[in-house]
Structure 1
């Protein structure tokens, strides 16, 4: 898969960052002589006015690289024991994540992830550890179905809601025992992000 591709399902709405990645793909094609200046201008205008991935597909269909649309897996299992488990950067997020952790920390950063589903489910089975979920701006989270046993939960900078908003909606279920569940947006200080 090309690093310039943006795998999503066609009816998913695009973010500004998604449009910029497709625009960069067009810039590369123009720089390689694959598109005339007129073609480049027409396609770039189309990309920046598109709402969904299906609308953008026509502007890159004849260019090298993988198509914009592909299907993310339905489920993935993440396990750790006495260790830290992290997912960050560009990683493909399935519809359902099953997280099992014993005496470890789990940090899942969704801000640059490839997310095909508007709603994702995270099933927790965490004992004596922390779970940190970093969501993109505009996301909503539902943690009503998490059983906390000798632990705590915090939601910062993310709307806690049982109903999906316009952005990504994350439904967290399961058990968080003897640890913390933190849901937040990405933190920034000068040029650092975490």
Structure 2
């Protein structure tokens, strides 16, 4: 968590986010990195925290669990939906091949380790939705659309400081929608 962007530090944490941090602290006490007294003190601080920045001091001296990041992944599907949501590791390049189904790549909770993420689309007869994390910027000017449209919503990249996404390829007989996460009270989509 020590490499959080300023925008990420100010974001409010969900209960699920706090639970992940508590699990990380639990693993640290199990490995002998912190004492039980430190664990109790840190958990109390994490549970009282409102933002990611407030949690940072409680885990700053612990090693971060980072799964290995692949350079390229290819996501393929035919006549079905293709989704990536929640906590997932984003490679430097994503190739999406989908026919007769919708695609949704939600980057709001994803672990993004590269400053530039390339997404190449080969989508036929389906809508593609890319949900950007806070502060992300997007260049989708090299996407060829046929019998569909390109919709960029919520002024992506206005805050700056986040990852930059470069979207290329073909979106045929369906829309490409690039947006931030929608939120209404406690619901997010």
Shorter-normalised TM range: 0.7 to 0.9
CA RMSD of aligned residues (A): 3.6
Deviations 1:13-42 (A, max 9, x none): 45337996885334775699942656967x
The one of 160, 169, 181 aligned to 2:164: 169
Q: Secondary structure at the match of 2:69?
A: coil
Instruction: State TM-score, norm by structure 1.
Output: 0.71
Q: Which residue of 2 aligns with 1:83?
A: 80
**Does 1:48 pair with 2:56?**
yes
Deviations 1:136-184 (A, max 9, x none): 12111100110111210111124269xxx41021110001111100001
Over 3 Å counting, the alpha-carbon distance change for 1:46 and 1:125 in structure 2 is: closer
**Structure 1 stretches of 5 or more lacking a match?**
1-5, 62-66
Contact 1:79/1:100 (8 A) holds in 2: yes
Contact 2:126/2:173 (8 A) holds in 1: yes
Contact 1:140/1:159 (8 A) holds in 2: yes
**Structure 2 stretches of 5 or more lacking a match?**
47-52
Instruction: State TM-score, norm by structure 2.
Output: 0.73
Q: Secondary structure at the match of 1:124?
A: strand
| Counterparts of residues 30-179 of structure 1 (less than 5 Å) | 34-35=34-35, 37=37, 48=56, 56=60, 59-61=61-63, 67-159=64-156, 165-179=160-174
Q: Secondary structure at the match of 2:56?
A: helix
How far apart are the structure 1 equivalents of 2:31 and 2:57? 24
How far apart are the structure 1 equivalents of 2:99 and 2:124? 5
Q: Which residue of 2 aligns with 1:3?
A: none
